Amino acid sequence: MKNSPILITGATGFIGGFLAGELIKRGRKTILTVRPKGNDTARQRVENLLKFLNIEAKHEPVVIPAEIDKPGMGLSVEHQRILRDVPEVLHCAADTSFAERKKQQVEATNLQGLRNVFNAVPNCERFFHMSSAYSAGIQEGLITEELQYPPDYHNPYEKSKNEAEKLITDLCRERKTNLTIFRPSITYGDASTGKSLRFYALYFPVRTLLLFRDSLKKDILERSGNRAASLGASINKNGSIRLPLTFPGSGQLNLVPINFLVEAVTAIMDSGETGIFHIVNPKSDTVGQLAHHIERHYSISGLEVGDETMQDGPLQTLINSYMDLYYPYFCDKRRFSDYRTREILEPLGIECPELTSAVFKRCMDFAVESSWGAEIRV
């Protein structure tokens, strides 16, 4: 169905934005449901996206203002008619919050929003659903490319994504719609350019450490230095700042760049295969490797990695209050089988790039230069 239109939700988000850009670049006819934001209309946000990605559309996308968690997605009668006969959907819209206090909104977007999208496209023949490898919940060992039934979850996001997989499986079975589910692991920016649209996940710990570095260094150099001293921070002879911190790191971090994810997802879409596909890195990274990259490139020292325990002290307590939602992923014992994915990608020569020190710096430098997304208007 390469010449037929495809509906893409979440087209101004991170994963959805890069996928929408790629399909538009290829000349695919696209229909994008987009939530207006601030003073920007849905159309303006799509124009900003294409400018950010340096893409000239061969076919101008049809842009539909929509809010998927509202009844009927808030669609006008005309837009309802447009979606009625769309044959394919790529559903990327999601709320990725981990916090328990946002549970209700996460469920509204990731479950009711999914149902709303499915109902809005009654004649859909193929549904592509963007899930997450971490929908597997609290488990250890090998996670296969099939529905998972874990005993519990680390956060509301994991639970909602697991339940969404089961919901869309049931909906597609009832309507006899072909279903493909993508499960990416932790996704970061483009390995070649460093570009990203969002700065969560891998970026959040780095941003937090740089915030503490700058704040405490300023306290030492421009103020009394009492706050830094009370937290145990100091400046080394080479000008770097020592932050005596220990992070849990008994597990593996599975990290994939967005350019690999786009290649993998579009190749699987082109293959016509259905089912569940893990978009993961065959080589996981460790918290120790990331700590080394941070110390090497961003004038920080004193970072240590333990098993499950961490240092005591006011600085450790403070950093934990920022990062405790991420610590389960630092100790992750899940491994993701990507047998079905590799069957499609390997003959095409598509491989996941390694997160080298240079790639890490390229992506984090882009984040810093864009003020962690504040200067990106999409």
pLDDT tens-digit map of 336-348: 999 999 999 999 9
Does the pLDDT of residue 135 top 90, yes or no? yes
Q: Is residue 338 part of a domain?
A: no
Around Cβ 299, how many Cβ atoms within 10 Å?
16
205 lies in the same domain as 292? yes
Tell which of 152, 184, 216 closes a domain: 184
Q: Is residue 217 part of a domain?
A: yes
146 lies in the same domain as 218? no
- SS3 label, residue 184: strand
212 lies in the same domain as 299? yes
Residue 243, CA atoms < 13 Å, CB-side half-sphere:
27
Sign of the CA dihedral 283, 286, 289, 291? positive
205 lies in the same domain as 316? yes
Residues 212-258 pLDDT 10s = 999 999 999 999 999 999 999 999 999 999 999 999 998 999 999 99
Tell me which of 160 and 311 has the higher pLDDT: 160
Q: Provide the domain count of the chain.
A: 2
What is the DSSP-derived secondary structure letter of residue 323?
H
Looking at residue 16, its amino acid is G
104 lies in the same domain as 66? yes
Looking at residue 343, its amino acid is E
Cα 87 to its chain centre, rounded Å, is: 26
216 lies in the same domain as 164? no
Looking at residue 223, its amino acid is R
Q: Is residue 204 part of a domain?
A: yes
Residues 4-35 pLDDT 10s = 899 999 999 999 999 999 999 999 999 999 99
Tell which of 184, 211, 229 closes a domain: 184
Q: How would residue 307 be classed by pLDDT, with cut points 50, 70 and 90?
A: confident
Q: Is residue 297 part of a domain?
A: yes
- Check if the beta carbon of residue 256 is closer than 8 Å to that of residue 185: yes
Q: Is residue 169 part of a domain?
A: yes
179 lies in the same domain as 199? no
CA nearest neighbour of 23 among 11, 34, 13, 33: 11
Residue 311 has a pLDDT of 65
Residues 277-295 pLDDT 10s = 999 999 999 999 999 999 9
Q: Is residue 218 part of a domain?
A: yes
Query: What's the Cα-to-Cα distance from 364 to each of 192, 298, 324, 368, rounded to whole Å?
Result: 12, 10, 21, 6
Q: Is residue 149 part of a domain?
A: yes
151 lies in the same domain as 226? no
56 lies in the same domain as 11? yes
Residue 181 has a pLDDT of 99
> Domain range for residue 43?
6-184
Residues 35-82 pLDDT 10s = 999 999 999 999 999 999 999 998 999 999 999 999 999 999 999 999
Rg (CA), the chain: 22
Residue 3 has a pLDDT of 74
Does the pLDDT of residue 183 top 70, yes or no? yes
Q: Is residue 71 part of a domain?
A: yes
321 lies in the same domain as 367? yes
CA pair distance 105, 98, nearest whole angstrom: 11
Residue 1 has a pLDDT of 57
98 lies in the same domain as 224? no
- Check if the beta carbon of residue 246 is closer than 8 Å to that of residue 310: yes
- Compute the average pLDDT of residues 115-127: 97
pLDDT averaged over every residue in the chain: 96
Block residue for tokens 């709303």: 116
Q: How would residue 309 be classed by pLDDT, with cut points 50, 70 and 90?
A: low
CA pair distance 115, 345, nearest whole angstrom: 30
CA pair distance 300, 100, nearest whole angstrom: 32
Tell which of 184, 205, 240 closes a domain: 184
Q: How many residues does the chain have?
A: 378
Beta strands 88-91 and 6-9, pairing class: parallel
- Check if the beta carbon of residue 163 is closer than 8 Å to that of residue 137: no
Question: The domain that contains 92 carries what CATH number?
Answer: 3.40.50.720
114 lies in the same domain as 233? no
